[in-house]
Chains A and B, each alone.
Chain A
Amino acid sequence: MDLSTFLATLESSNVAVSIRNSLYIFPLIESAHVCGLAMVFGTIAIIDMRLLGLASTRRPFRKLASDVLKWTWAAFVLTAITGALMFITNASVYYHNVFFRTKMLALVLAGINMLVFELTTGRSIHRWDKDAAAPTAGKTAAVVSLALWIGIIFLGRWIGFTTTRATTIPQEKAPEINFDDIFQQAPDNPPAQPGK
Chain B
Amino acid sequence: MKEFADWLSHTSLSVLIQNHNSWMIPTIQSVNIVGIGIVIVSVFMVDLRILGLAGTDQTVKETTNRFGPWLTGALCVLLATGLLMVVGEPVRELITISFWVKMFLVAVGTLIASIFQIVLRKHDQHWQDELIHRVSIKGLAILTFLIWVAIIVLGRLIAYDHVWGSWSPATKA
Contacts and interface: CB of A to CB of B under 8 A. Distances in A.
Interface of A: 23-24, 26-28, 30-32, 34-35, 37-43, 45-46, 55-56, 59, 63, 67-68, 71, 150, 153-154, 157-158, 160-161, 171-175, 177-180, 191, 193-196
Interface residues of B, number: 46
Interface string B93-108: 0100101110000000
Interface string B17-41: 0000010011101100110111111
B41 A23 contact: no
B157 A154 contact: no
A174 B161 CA distance: 10
Contact of B41 (A34, A38, A63, A194): A38
Contacts of B38: 42, 45
Interface stretch (B6-14, B52-60, B111-119, B130-138): B52-60
Contacts of B57: 59, 63
Interface of B: 1, 22, 25-27, 29-30, 33-34, 36-42, 44-45, 48, 54-55, 57-58, 66, 70, 94, 97, 99-101, 149, 152-153, 155-157, 159-160, 162-167, 169, 171
Contacts of A23: 162-163
B55 A27 contact: no
A153 B45 CA distance: 22
B30 A153 contact: yes
A110 to B, nearest CB: 15
A130 to B, nearest CB: 12
A67 B165 contact: no
29 contacts: A23-B163, A27-B156, A27-B159, A27-B163, A28-B153, A31-B156, A34-B33, A35-B40, A35-B153, A37-B33, A38-B36, A40-B37, A41-B33, A42-B38, A42-B44, A45-B38, A59-B57, A59-B58, A67-B55, A68-B54, A157-B29, A160-B26, A172-B162, A174-B171, A175-B165, A177-B165, A178-B166, A179-B165, A194-B97
